[in-house]
């Protein structure tokens, strides 16, 4: 969902919310997004990610722990476009993306460590709804995440300033 909020205000008003270390860069056309999260744990294989974004997103954000790998991309323009078409508002990747010029044109939030031209393998290995941890944040399905140009905040329930 896109709405008027500022992570700085949310952080000030909700000191118990988790704030991510500034490791992730924005690649999508939406620099501000928020929603309830679904999580994945994968490593250099985006098969389960693709299966997940083919389901209805209902305004959610997909948080993908790719193990921090910088050896291939887990999300490209086709994956992001499919996610957008199915109602996902954002994808947060502890790994890499590709097709960055195209990602920047899509009205979806995309955060990742970096860009890499190599595609991932397709072995069908990954875990849906796993508790994942990166950038100093523990993500669980059903949590809420808020992202803007100042950073990322995660909380157990929706936040208000």
Give this prediction's pTM.
Answer: 0.96
Closest C-alpha among 102, 140, 99 to residue 116: 99
Closest C-alpha among 29, 89, 88, 28 to residue 54: 88
Closest C-alpha among 41, 15, 2, 49 to residue 147: 2
Classified as helix, coil or strand, 1 is coil
Looking at the predicted structure, is the pLDDT value of residue 159 above 90?
yes
Please write the tens of the pLDDT for every residue from 88-140.
999 999 999 999 999 999 999 999 999 999 999 999 999 999 999 999 999 99
Query: Can you give the residue ranges of every domain in the chain?
Result: 18-142
Please write the tens of the pLDDT for every residue from 20-72.
999 999 999 999 999 999 999 999 999 999 999 999 999 999 999 999 999 99
What's 153's DSSP letter? Answer: E
> HSE of 4 in the Cβ direction (CA atoms, 13 Å)?
0
CATH superfamily entry for domain 18-142: Ribonuclease E inhibitor RraA/RraA-like (3.50.30.40)
């Amino acid at each position: 969902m896109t709405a008027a909020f500022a992570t700085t205000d949310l952080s000030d008003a909700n000191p118990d919310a988790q704030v991510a270390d500034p490791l992730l860069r924005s690649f999508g056309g939406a620099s501000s997004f928020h929603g309830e999260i679904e999580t994945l744990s994968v490593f250099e294989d985006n098969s389960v990610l693709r299966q997940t974004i083919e389901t209805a997103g209902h305004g959610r954000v997909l948080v993908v722990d790719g193990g921090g790998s910088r050896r291939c991309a887990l999300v490209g323009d086709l994956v992001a476009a499919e996610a957008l078409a199915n109602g996902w508002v954002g994808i947060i990747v502890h790994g890499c993306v590709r097709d960055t010029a195209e990602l920047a044109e899509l009205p979806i939030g995309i955060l990742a460590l970096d860009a890499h031209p190599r595609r991932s393998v397709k072995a069908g290995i990954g875990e849906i709804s796993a508790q994942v941890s990166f950038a100093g944040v523990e993500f669980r399905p059903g949590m809420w995440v808020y992202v803007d140009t100042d950073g990322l905040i995660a909380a157990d329930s929706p936040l208000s300033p």
